[in-house]
Amino acid sequence: MKLAIRRSLVAAVLLLAARGSFAAVGVPVSVEDLARGSDAVVRGKVTGVSARWEGTRIYTFTEVDVTSVWRGSAPARIRVATPGGVVGRIGQRVDGAAVFAPAEEVVVFLAKGDGGAFRVNGLAQGKFAVRDGTASPDLAHTTFLAKEIATGERRSEEMSVEELERRVRSIR
């Protein structure tokens, strides 16, 4: 009898634990591909975030003090434009765009953009938040296509800052 009880409990626990198995899986571009397609890749700290209208669209402009340039060239302070934000009573959401937080330490894959501001290459995949030596993109709002990553390369996902830097710098 005790064996039957134990078996039932084990089965119940296994079923409860299976919750995570339904997690969504996307296969995005690799860090290496992002680096290849970027005009610059920098590490830095967010010093200011503000939003304004650009025609019919709201863009959020993020000032980043660059502490190191991993690829390409960039000035000591850059301005990055991302779609979406709030101005007055009106807000715009553009799911999939990178979001910066004040004072956040970041690694950003940059593309030269219109209006004198950089854009984030790869949308949210091209911006990593750095905390405790770990770099993490926020991919919650990105719709991914299943796509193979080249052997030896790694998709845009959480990894150590050291590994991220090594992968970016490995691209010639």
Binding stretches for other proteins (CB under 8 A): 1, 4-5, 8-9, 11-13, 15-16, 18-20, 22-26, 28-29, 33-34, 36-37, 54-59, 81, 83-84, 86, 88-97, 99, 111, 113-115, 117, 119-123, 125-126, 138-148
Nearer to other proteins, 21 or 73 (CB): 21
Contact call for residues 67 and 45 (beta carbons, < 8 A): yes
- Nearest distance, CB of residue 24 and other proteins, angstroms: 4
Cα–Cα dist 108/51, whole Å: 19
Nearer to other proteins, 19 or 172 (CB): 19
The two structure tokens encoding residue 148: 């193979």
- Nearest distance, CB of residue 73 and other proteins, angstroms: 18
- Nearest distance, CB of residue 134 and other proteins, angstroms: 14
Nearer to other proteins, 4 or 172 (CB): 4
Contact call for residues 13 and 133 (beta carbons, < 8 A): no
Q: Cβ contacts of residue 135 below 8 Å, gap of 6+?
A: 107, 128, 129, 158, 159, 160, 161, 164
Contact call for residues 99 and 138 (beta carbons, < 8 A): yes
Per the document, the length of the chain is: 172
Nearer to other proteins, 131 or 147 (CB): 147
SS3 24: coil
- Nearest distance, CB of residue 130 and other proteins, angstroms: 16
Nearer to other proteins, 11 or 76 (CB): 11
